[in-house]
Chains A and B, each alone.
Chain A
Amino acid sequence: MKVEQLSDGIFEVIIDDRKILSTHNLYPGHSVYGERLMDVDGIEYRQWDPHRSKLGAMVLKGFDIPIEYDSHVLYLGAASGTTVSHVSDILTDGLVYAVEFSPRTMRDLIKLCDQRPNIIPILADANQPRSYAHIVETVDVIFQDVAQPNQAEIAAINSKYFLEDDGHLMLSIKSRSIDTVASPKKVFKDEVKKLEGDFGVEFEVLQRKELDPFHEDHLGVLARMFVDEDEE
């Protein structure tokens, strides 16, 4: 078995010509959502299923992942933590603030937090960044997967609050949660345009790609926030 590193904390374990996306398991011996655990030279890797994770799909679609081992990440739409667990694996010296607004789902997420020291759970609505502005510090990266009609706005207002100058935003845009009739292409274009200027923050879009075949009707976006020096 061979291992290749793709970016900080993200690997491909190669077994018989098959490349398996994975992360170092921060909590060895435990699988989070039924994924495979692999031992290579005494280090345990955890398979990362790109079909169950937008971020995982973004890795395989060739995005430059801005998350480093010591990043501080704000994760919006954490759900029960499938992807958050891999982010937690990556952040050996970092921290992820995991925001989720469904209490039922948060119940599962907390179980994950109990096992991992670098996940900070926040039960709140990502539409109201002010409601957690007393908790979340300035972060290096915001990752968002909320599947809501106003996803561009949510990303923008959270960036305005919490993203450091020149920080990175990674966004999964679901075309069908916005408009079930319009073509995905049009929805993507409109959302990215909104992001680029409608909410008083500006972004430079670095990469944008559809996440098929892992996720249909989803667009991945990587952007860097501009700071408008004239403002304020």
Chain B
Amino acid sequence: MKAVTWFGTLKLSENGDVEECSLLEKDPEQLAQHMLLAVENEELPTHGLDLRELALACGFVELDEDYDVLLREICIKAAKRQISMTDTDDKRIIQAVEAMDDVDKAANELSERLTEWYGVYFPELELTAESMARFVARFGSRENVPEDHNMFSKASSSMGAELSLVDEDLLRNFATNLCGIYDTRKNLEQYIMANMGAVAPNLTNIAGAPLGARLISLAGGLKKLAAFPSSTVQVIGANNALFKHLRSRAPSPKHGVIFNHPFIKGAPWWQRGKIARALAAKISLAVRMDAYGGKLDPSIKVNLERKVESIRKAHPEPPKKQSTKVTQPGPGRAGGRPAKKRGGQKKGGMNKGSKNTNDRSGGRPA
């Protein structure tokens, strides 16, 4: 019997005696590499071996301690290498998506504080979120707003309180930091935009970078996403809506974050379920290609567009059934943000976005 071990390949007799050893060099780097590659090897021992005895018998090491020291060093090296290999591109995308969520949370909280705080001094300023932060960071007190600025008349006739120098400093600093957070968000967004094409070209082509990244993050990785059936892809990220439905005993949600795809968002409610199903099927297909290193195949998107067009043609009118009254689930927790932010003047990001959930994302005639 031939057996591959971490220190070499052995030929063993029926009763386990060594007949031949071909030992590896005692070079830790090479041994670690061999240890990892051996896992793919057909000739790994099919039952346990007394490896220590064998290593001594073959003269790979002379002492028990040498065996321990060398094996430990190599196992640590091998494990470290395995860990660094798990930092794959899709894992980096996931970090960026999750960082974006954290940043949004922080930005919402700080911007609410700023709005309330600065409102004391300039209640007429009708800016929110980022534009508010930029304004305060730039001018501080409303007295600094120059004449040619469109807020000038409001600023000079404001009923707001006086702002002391100390308070102005504090506010300005606070606002400046908040601007930094908004900048970070843009960086993260750009990072995702720039890298999704390489990580998952087909998914990105169909779903767009933000939504594609969101799907990978919710699934926990590209390979995991590829393993989901398309019916699951359709509801990924619907958890919040799902819970709401469970509580109110309403029907289960029909779609998760893919609801944010323009094809569904832009469609009348009675077409949404059908389009979601078609979209989920194509996303599944695309992701499977990507997970196995496939190149961009534009035909998937062409086929999807065709399919969506035919759904639109086949169902131009709402169905005649009287509408059953159900609470409709909102979009999944996170989905909308990436697209929403682009306008610049948004209101506070996700919190508000996901609170008003009175759209028709879920209930759908069969």
Contact = CB atoms under 8 A, between A and B. Distances in A.
Contacts of B49: 133, 137-138
B79 A136 contact: no
A134 interface: yes
B71 A162 contact: no
A113 B72 contact: yes
A59 interface: no
B75 A120 contact: yes
A135 interface: yes
Given A130-B44, A134-B44, A122 B79 contact: yes
Nearest to A163: B48
A110 B80 CA distance: 8
Interface string A87-99: 0000000010000
Interface string B49-72: 111110000000000000011011
B314 interface: no
Contacts of B46: 130, 133
A28 interface: no
Consensus secondary structure, chain B interface: helix
A118 B76 CA distance: 12
Contacts, number: 80
A49 B46 CA distance: 38
Given A106-B83, A122-B79, A131-B39, A136 B51 contact: yes
A119 B250 CA distance: 54
Contact of A134 (B35, B53, B82): B35
B353 to A, nearest CB: 31
Interface in A86-132: 95, 103, 106-107, 110, 113-114, 117-124, 129-131
Chain B CB within 10 Å, residue with most, of A106, A114, A121, A129: A121
Nearest to A132: B39
Contacts of B71: 120, 135
A103 B86 contact: yes
Contacts of A120: 71-72, 75
B52 A134 contact: no
A176 interface: no
A122 B32 CA distance: 12
User: For chain B, which range describes its interface: under 10, 10 to 19, 20 to 34, or 35 or more residues?
Assistant: 20 to 34
A207 to B, nearest CB: 25
B151 interface: no
A161 B47 CA distance: 5
A209 interface: no
Contacts of B35: 134-135
Contact of B45 (A106, A130, A160): A130
Interface string B63-100: 00000110110011011101100100000000000000
B182 interface: no
A134 B5 CA distance: 4
Nearest to A139: B48
Nearest to B39: A131
Contacts of A162: 48
Contacts of B6: 134-135
Contact of A107 (B5, B45, B48, B83): B83
Contact of A137 (B38, B41, B51, B72): B51
Nearest to A74: B48
Contacts of A136: 48, 51
B281 interface: no
B181 interface: no
A110 B47 contact: no
Given A117-B72, A138-B52, A161-B48, 8 more contacts: A103-B86, A106-B79, A120-B72, A123-B83, A133-B46, A134-B41, A137-B49, A162-B48
Which 4 A-B pairs have CB atoms at the shortest separation, nearest pair first? A161-B48, A133-B45, A137-B51, A103-B86
19 contacts: A103-B86, A110-B83, A113-B72, A122-B79, A123-B79, A123-B82, A124-B39, A130-B45, A133-B45, A133-B49, A134-B4, A134-B5, A134-B6, A134-B41, A135-B75, A137-B48, A138-B52, A161-B47, A163-B48
